[in-house]
Each structure stands twice: as structure tokens, then as C-alpha cells.
Amino acid sequence: TFDVDYVGYNGRGKGSLNTRYAKPDGSADGAPEIVRTNMPSNIDIAVAKLDYTAPLGKGKFETGLKSSYVTSNNTMVYETFQDVWTIDNSRSNQFKYLENVNAGYLNYSGSLSKKIKIQLGLRAEHTHSIGNSITLNTKKDRNYINLFPSVFLTNQLDTNNVLNFSYSRRIDRPNYQLLNPFEFYLDPYTFQKGNPNLKPQYTNSFQLTHIFKNIINTSFGYSLTKDLISDELPQQIASENKTFVSAYNLDQQNAFNLTLSAPIRIQKWWNIQVNATGIYNHTKSIYLDAPLSLKQYSWNGYANSQFTLKKGWSAEISGYYNSKALYGLYQTKAMYALNAGVQKSLFNKKATIRVNVNDIFWTNRFRGHALYEDINFRVKSEWPSRQVRVSLAYNFGNQNVKGARQRNTGSDDLKNRAGGNN
């Protein structure tokens, strides 16, 4: 198979900030600060990939090549108002980013015996990236090669028990906007900015999974991440009484997790699927010239309850709970949400009408507190997560026609890195 993809993003971000100061008696205290920003952003992604598969002995051999070329052009025009709008060149900037990744892989899957199956893989990547802050006249040029092995083993112990083991090494590159050194002001004393020196993070992951009767899954995992990307680390500029958040690489993170997944059948018409995970994270680094050691136990759970009712009716209730946890330097509070939905089949199951309510009690929100050295920083975020959706689907024509080939394009991972900031 051969695929060529092109994706283009065209963003037109704008912002404004109008700050007025008052004395205790309510009268004006000095001139107001009025600023506005114009932030056009363009990201172009071009990807070509070639994949080849052939039988080999009692197994299957796969190989392929992939090349991606990404360019990002971002401009920040920062203006202040005093009788007329004036461009502030000290805060305005243009940032260009270019990234070319060329990769090849080999993969073999087969059987060692009647009970043991194996899959071995190796991917090699060459990356060349250039981040150029034109206004600041700074350039970051990186050129490196990486190898990413993977191993998967499946052992059918008996008719009821299966044991799986996996190991893989992967790379996670930062989102493009995290590399952008622009300053985005939340208020006169707080702003966000990107970090052009941000490096990719590398993770070695091990997973052991036991499956009982193809129903109950229990897994234990361990991962070691080097150059961990933490995208909202706070710092202070004491001389200006300002605080900003930016992305930085922390030295390493050790993570352990234990997961249990199982279905529960209450009645013939009522089924529940539950998942529960316990997590331990330990992050170590040097941050703000001081040793950093963060340890946290946390857990999360998810449950989905499905009801099959009479006359084509069905219903669903689902919810999740995340305990307090560590997010970079932030100690976060628990997050949780409850969802519900109902649907009805119509016209001999050719049509379906659905009504869903997400986050019924509007509890899905972020609360965090960073307390480190001279930093005492609190963050809270809310978004319109409580939504009601009504949909109607109708299937017409020959229901036996074979669907189109489902495929993952070569640009999927790159589109994810474009994020929502474009």
C-alpha cells in the first residue's frame, strides 16, 4: 500500500486585554493598560508512506518507509494603545519551524509453538528540525537518529488463561505550539510562552497482562520516561512581579500501573463494564536550580452500564473518577463526570434516534496547585463539557455492500501534534 497525505492548518488567533487600576475609594489610579494581539498561524504537513506485507514461513513479514515534512509559520503582532495603536516590537515576533522525519521499519509476527506467538519489530528514524525565531535572531537546529525496538509475546497457558508480555520504546515529540516562544498574556501579571529548546521525550514501556476466559483482564505495567515534557511549569520574574507558565523537559519519570477490567452481568437486559487502575509516579529532575522529587499515588475508575429495553429502546449510563494526582508541578484535585443517553430504533432498525447528556452535573473541571521554592501558583479551568446532543441516523440502500477500506493515514500523529492552537 502507498499513501500520500497533505494537511493544512490556517489559524487567525486574536486577543485583547484592557486593564484599569483603581484606588480603595474607587477613583482611577493611573492610566489604563490596553493591548491587543494578532496571531496568524499556518501549519503545512506533507507525508508519504509505503508499506509491504508478505507471508514468511508460518508467519508474516512487514516493512515500510515513511517521510514527513512539516513547516509552521507563526507571527505575533503585539500592540498597545495610547491615543493610537502602536506596535510593541519588544513583544512582537515571527517564529518559523521546519521538521523532516524519515523512517523505516521491519516487523515479523509468527508462532514459536502451538501455544506461543511472537511479534518482533524495529523502527529507525532520522529527524532534522530547525526552529527559527526571526525577530529574536535565534535558531535551534537539531539532527539525530533513533532506534525503536518492540517485542510482543502471547502464551496460551490453557483453555481459560492467556499471558501477554510486551516491550516497546517510543518517542513523543512536543506539539508545534509548545515550541513557539511567543508570550500570550492572561493578565498583566500572568502569561504563557513556548520553549524553542524543548526536546522530545523517550519512553521504555513494559506490560504483563493476564486474560481469564477472554473476559477478565489484569495487567501490570512499568514505564521509564526520559526528558519528560511538562507543558505548564510555572516560573516567576521577581523584578517585574510576573508569573508565567512554559513547557520544559524534566529529567525522568518512573511510572507503575495496575489495571483490572471486567464485565458484570446483572440481568439479561443489564450489563456493566468496569475498569479500575492504580498508578504510582515518581518524577525526578533539577528545576530552578534545585532538586525536584515528586511522588504520587493515584487511581482512576470507569464504569459503563447498558440497558436493553423492550420495543427497540436502549439506555446507557457511564461515568469516570480520577483521584488527585500529579501533573508536572501541580497537585491536582479529583475530577469526575456522569453521562447518560437513550436511543430508539425505528423503521425495522433502519433508523436510530439518540439523546445524550454529557457531564450531567458539570463536574469535569481542572483544579491544580503548584507549591515549589518561591512559587505558590493556583490554576483552575472550566469548559463547556455539559452538553446535550440529539442525533438521527437512517441507513438506506443495500445493507450488505462492503464498506470502504479503513486505514490510518501517515499524517494522523502529526495532526495530533498540531493540537487545538491553530
Reported as a single tens digit per residue, the pLDDT across 204-250 is 999 999 999 989 999 999 999 999 998 878 888 877 778 888 999 99
- Greater pLDDT, 93 or 97: 97
pLDDT of residue 422: 38
pLDDT of residue 82: 86
Q: How far apart are CA 290 and CA 329, in angstroms?
A: 13
pLDDT of residue 190: 83
- H helices of 100-170, in order, are none
Nearest in space to 283 (alpha carbons), one of 256, 258, 257, 255:
255
The string of pLDDT tens digits covering residues 25-82 is 888 888 888 889 888 889 999 999 999 999 998 899 999 999 999 999 988 898 999 8
Q: Is the model's pLDDT at 259 over the cut of 80?
A: yes
- pLDDT cut 90: percent of the chain above it: 58
C-alpha dihedral, 55 to 59 to 61 to 62, nearest 10°: 110
In degrees, rounded to 5, the angle at the alpha carbon of residue 398 between the alpha carbons of residues 396 and 400 is 125
Can you say whether residue 57 is alpha, beta or left, with left for phi > 0 and alpha for psi between -120 and 50 degrees?
A: left
pTM: 0.85
Mean pLDDT of the chain: 90
pLDDT of residue 279: 96
The string of pLDDT tens digits covering residues 367-417 is 999 888 777 888 888 999 999 999 999 987 666 666 666 666 777 888 888
Question: Average pLDDT of 253-269?
Answer: 94
The string of pLDDT tens digits covering residues 186-203 is 777 888 888 989 999 999
Question: Average pLDDT of 304-331?
Answer: 91
Q: How far apart are CA 335 and CA 319, in angstroms?
A: 11
Which amino acid is present at 13? G
Which cell goes with 102? 524519515
At residue 414, φ and ψ (nearest 5 deg) are -75, -35
Q: How far apart are CA 415 and CA 5, in angstroms?
A: 11
Q: How far apart are CA 107 and CA 119, in angstroms?
A: 7
Residue 412: its H or E element: helix 412-418
**CB distance 221 to 210 below 8 Å:** no
Instruction: State the burial class of residue 245 (Cβ atoms within 10 Å of its Cβ: 0-12, 13-18, 19+).
Output: buried
The string of pLDDT tens digits covering residues 101-128 is 999 999 999 999 999 999 999 999 999 9
Q: How far apart are CA 421 and CA 175, in angstroms?
A: 9
Q: How far apart are CA 257 and CA 260, in angstroms?
A: 10
Residue 120: its H or E element: strand 116-133
pLDDT of residue 271: 95
Per-residue exposure over 122-159, b if at least 16 CB sit within 10 Å of its own CB, e if not: ebebebebebbbeeeeeebeeeeebebebebbbeeeee
Q: How far apart are CA 130 and CA 176, in angstroms?
A: 12
